[in-house]
Structure 1
Amino acid sequence: MLDRPVRALLAGPLDRVAAVLDRPGLTPDRLTVAGLVLGLGSAVTSAAQLWPVALVLWLVSRLADGLDGPLARRRGPRDAGAGGFLDITCDFVVYGSTVVGVAVGATAGHGEPWWPFLAVLLAYYVNGTAFLAFSSIAERSGRTIDDGRSLSFLGGLAEGTETIAVHALWLVVPWVAADVAVVWAAVVAVSSLQRVVAGYRALS
């Protein structure tokens, strides 16, 4: 829901940072992998209940994820297929692993129940299936949505901006992480339904 205005707001600052990082030894794919490693570090430190460290690693991970695209565009026209594939795969790994990390840390340290986090993972699974299936079929049928990214993204109530905010929130208040997860799972489920309906209509 917030991705479009946030992307417009951050485009200039991210481009300027990408200009500083534009050095021969640093490639967009390396930035993507750095985001993956940092995200996995956030998951591990969440499980260990090192919440402030996990929060910092999470935010820096998402910053790296936001910079690989601007850096790639500075390098000139190229086939974005491999980079886009790597990016979305790393995103899914990071999102899933950080949910598990928070679940482990919150249940062990604060007695939070497991099932809300399982609900989030299920909602992520359905949501990811819907937009990836749409992107693949839209590409073959010539009905792509071009917003500057390598995949055709269907908008929804829960997008990347909201995901970053919610994952940061339960690192700040891990003692109510399960309550946050219940609400978030419901939001992602509604977003999944939106994408299924919108995707079906767009491809009909």
Structure 2
Amino acid sequence: MLDGAVRRRLEPILDRIGMALANHGVGADTVTIAGFLLGLLAAVLIAFEFYFSGAALILFSRLCDGLDGAVARASRKTDLGGFLDIVLDFAFYGAIPLAFVIADSAANGLAGGFLLFSFYLNGATFLAFAVMAEKRAMTTEVRGAKSLYFTTGIAEATETIAFFLACCLFPSWFPTLAAFFAAVCLYTALSRIVLARLAFQDKQ
């Protein structure tokens, strides 16, 4: 929901940094992988209850996630790069809730499982919609030029990162925050299903 406003403010800065990285020979895939590795390290820190350090690495990880697209625009975009970006993003989004479950499975296990279920369903609707949209040659740049059709929703990257950071700042609140955000993700998935019914109906 907030991704559009955030992108408009950050994209000019990211594009300048991305151009500088591309001019120094840094590839977009390298930035994508670096961001993922930072995200995994954040998950490890959270699992060992170093929550503030984990929060800092989450921010650096997502900075890389924004920069890889800027580097690609400054050099060249590839289908492999787009594939790698979305797969590693999903891996990151799964790793952070899992880390909270590992940190305190007794307190966080149920809420973390519910959250991961909601992420799974939300991701499935996102990717399935993209596949059907590609089949019908649909296009959109509502979130800028992307490697696949991008549907918006209440729970997007900005909201998810804000949620992760809130959990790091208030780890004892994880069960409540996770249950709430899982409900938001399920609502987003349901709205995408409704949108798919409207967009993909065959003519009678």
* TM-score for the superposition, normalised by structure 1: 0.93
Give the AA of the match of 1:168: L
**Would the aligned equivalents of 1:135 and 1:144 in 2 still touch at CA under 8 Å?**
no
Aligned match of 2:111: 116
Partner of residue 155 from structure 2, selected from 135, 153, 158: 158
Kept after mapping to 2: 8 A contact 1:102/1:171? no
Q: Which residue of 1 aligns with 2:52?
A: 52
| Letter in structure 1 aligned against 2:154 | L
Letter of the 2:81 counterpart? G
Q: Does 1:138 align with 2:133?
A: yes
1:17 aligns with 2:12: no
Q: How large is the Cα RMSD of the aligned pairs?
A: 1.4
1:103 equivalent to 2:101? Answer: yes
Deviations 1:159-182 (A, max 9, x none): 111011101110111011111101
> Any idea what SS the aligned residue of 2:49 has?
coil
In structure 2, the gaps of 5 or more residues are: none
Using the size of structure 2 for normalisation, the TM-score is 0.93
- Identity within the alignment, %: 37
Cα pair 1:138 1:144 within 8 Å, conserved: yes
Distance 1:8 1:64 in 2: 17
Provide structure 1 residue ranges, at least 5 long, that are not aligned to the other structure.
none
Q: Which runs of 4+ in 1 moved over 3 A?
A: none
Alignment-derived partner of residue 36 in structure 1: 36
Residue identity matched to 1:178: P
Aligned equivalents of 2:68 and 2:139: distance in 1?
A: 22
How far apart are residue 20 of structure 1 and its match? 2.8
Residues 77-118 of structure 1: CA distance to partner in whole angstroms, max 9, x if unpaired? x4x31111000000011110111002222x26xx52311111
Secondary structure of the structure 2 residue equivalent to 1:143: coil
Q: Which whole-Å CA distance do the structure 2 matches of 1:55 and 1:65 have between them?
A: 15
CA drift at 1:203 = 1.9
Deviation, structure 1 residue 24? 4.1
Checking the alignment, whether the CA contact within 8 Å between 1:135 and 1:151 is kept in structure 2 is: yes
Per-residue deviation, 1:15: 1.1
Aligned residues: 199
